[in-house]
Amino acid sequence: MSTVTQPSVPENLKSFLSAPKKLLIGGQWVDAKSGKTFDVYDPATDQVVAQAAEGDAADVELAVAAARKAFDSGAWSKMTASQRSRIIWKIGDLIEDNADELAAMETIDNGKPIGVAKAADVALAADMFRYMAGWATKIEGNTIPLNVPYVPGGQFHAYTLKEPVGVVGQIIPWNFPLLMAAWKLGPALATGCTIVLKPAEQTPLSAIRLGELCHEAGLPDGVVNIITGFGETAGAAIAAHDDVDKVAFTGSTEVGKIIIKAAAGNLKKVTLELGGKSPNVIYDDADIETAIAGAADAIFFNQGQVCSAGSRLFVQSGIYDEVVAGVSEIASNMKVGSGFDASTQMGPLVSREQFDRVSGYLKAGLDAGAEASAGGAAIDQPGYFVQPTVLKNASPEMSVVQEEIFGPVVAAMPFTSDTEIACQANDTTYGLAAGIWTRDISKAHKLARQVKAGTVWVNCYSIFDAALPFGGYKQSGWGREMGHAALENYLQTKSVCVSL
């Protein structure tokens, strides 16, 4: 493995980092009521690079009031859909215009390679707003013929209206900071909702910049409010607030369950995009070279901090050794380093906490008898770097096979028969995604039906598109993000029945 290098922060990012980073409430940038701020770290150096306002329940109170006022005024929800669409589209344009700056923010905040941030995170975020801008003008109900048995001869005109759910709280994680904000804001804005968004405490920067861009695009005051701060304080206040009509959350399954309980107070609507332990299945009739590269990408993309990562690799027994050797070779040759170095393929993990968590899993896996055919340890140097790791001889009861590691660690296991693999693939409490590699299309479609997962990739992995719904079966969540499906999270159906 090559040595980690640490190029310095780009000049153009320095002024943003040193400027005060405030909360966005009712169109104004304000300090937290408590006056508190928290440190923002560069995960490649373990150094503090900025301070952000530490919003808590008091600030959430103001943000929800601002969102309520904006919603009730109709400034957004009653604007013509065509006008709303143009503003949402403009947000996408502004993201693209500022792509270099936003990508650099993602790299210093999250650690990811800057080329990936620009090509994936920023491009997908822009695309999400544009896709949802298109939907704003296409939200429509139905006319429904009635057949009321107890009103003989009755004539009715019945139809449905699709109305925005109201004020929504959105709590997002740190693995794709800007993109997760886009996944959440896009459909909420298209439907006419107003929003209180809380970015993860590890990665507040790009959401703050996005707030500025929303206003540059012409979004009315109070439609998007941004509260940076911690989960247990600001996040919990959003989830529990009686005047929030819906909460959308992406993060750990553990916190997802806390959100459900907090939401029970006013029975706010809840959607959840949670963890995963996704199976990636390679049959012996696959194009092996492509499958090996795909399996490596499925787990090492974004340092493995992807909810849909292909973290359980099932390989048909005849090609198991060859595939494990191939993925291990890719892992061993990966250039790990600062995301600002153009040659870096894998950056650091996002935080000290995540570094400790992943290191703990590596130790637990090796102690339990798994063997590292690549990596297996942290990298001894400043920053939160761990080696891309392939564990073989992993067995189903091990924590590295059952639990989400959220790091660059794949557990490889052999399988023999077609009937056995569906059971093995589904042997998890999660159900977010799955990968299938084979040249036999019938086999691919059969397993795609059997596997309990919200997304199935065949002969590819980690293909995301604003038009394609994404979300979880089982304990991976409730509801779908992206696509037409995401609009439903932010709409209510009203039935209107008229006697003629």
Cβ proximity to ligand NAI: between 202 and 316 the closer is 202
CA distance 105 to 360: 29
Q: Applying CB under 6 A, which part among 52-60, 136-144, 232-240, 281-289 lies near ligand NAI?
A: 232-240
Q: Does 59 bind ligand NAI (CB under 6 A)?
A: no
**Alpha-carbon span 361 to 453, nearest angstrom:** 24
Q: Is 42 in the site for ligand NAI (CB under 6 A)?
A: no
| Partner residues linked to 255 by β-bridges | none
240: which 2 tokens?
């529990």
Contacts of 108 (CB under 8 A, 6+ apart): 9, 13, 17, 42, 49, 205, 339, 340
Cα atoms in the 13 Å half-sphere on the side-chain side of 118:
12
Residues 350 to 369 in contact with ligand NAI, rule: CB under 6 A: 357
- Residue of 42, 121, 404, 481 that binds ligand NAI (CB under 6 A): 404
> What is the C-alpha end-to-end distance of the chain, expressed in Å?
77
Per the annotation, the verdict on 273 as an active-site residue is yes
Q: 55, 164, 251, 294: which one contacts ligand NAI (CB under 6 A)?
A: 251
Residue 226 Cβ vs ligand NAI, minimum distance, rounded to whole Å: 12
Q: Is 239 in the site for ligand NAI (CB under 6 A)?
A: yes
Burial of 402 (0-12, 13-18, 19+ CB in 10 A): middle
- x-marked contacts with ligand NAI along 173-192 as a string, rule CB under 6 A: x-x-----------------
CB of 201 to ligand NAI, least distance (A): 5
Three-state DSSP class for 137? Answer: coil
Neighbours of 252 (CB within 10 A): 16
What is the Cβ-side half-sphere exposure of residue 235, based on CA atoms within 13 angstroms?
A: 20
Which listed residue (54, 106, 201, 307) is catalytic?
Answer: 307
Q: Which 3 state secondary structure label does DSSP give 298?
A: helix
Q: Mark whether 307 is an active-site residue.
A: yes
Could you say which of 178, 255, 292, 466 contacts ligand NAI (CB under 6 A)?
255
Q: Under the criterion CB under 6 A, does residue 345 sit at the interface with ligand NAI?
A: no
Q: Report the residue from 77, 206, 250, 328 that binds ligand NAI according to the rule CB under 6 A.
A: 250
Question: What part of residues 259-288 is at the interface with ligand NAI (CB under 6 A)?
Answer: 259, 273-275
Residue 252 near ligand NAI by CB under 6 A: yes
**399 interacts with ligand NAI by CB under 6 A:** no
Query: Which residues contact residue 110 at a Cβ distance below 8 angstroms, ignoring those fewer than 6 apart?
Result: 43, 117, 174, 175, 176, 177, 202, 203, 339, 347, 350
* Catalytically active residues, by annotation: 273, 307
Binding site residues, ligand NAI, CB under 6 A: 171-173, 175, 198, 200-201, 230-232, 235-236, 239, 250-252, 255, 258-259, 273-275, 307, 357, 404, 406
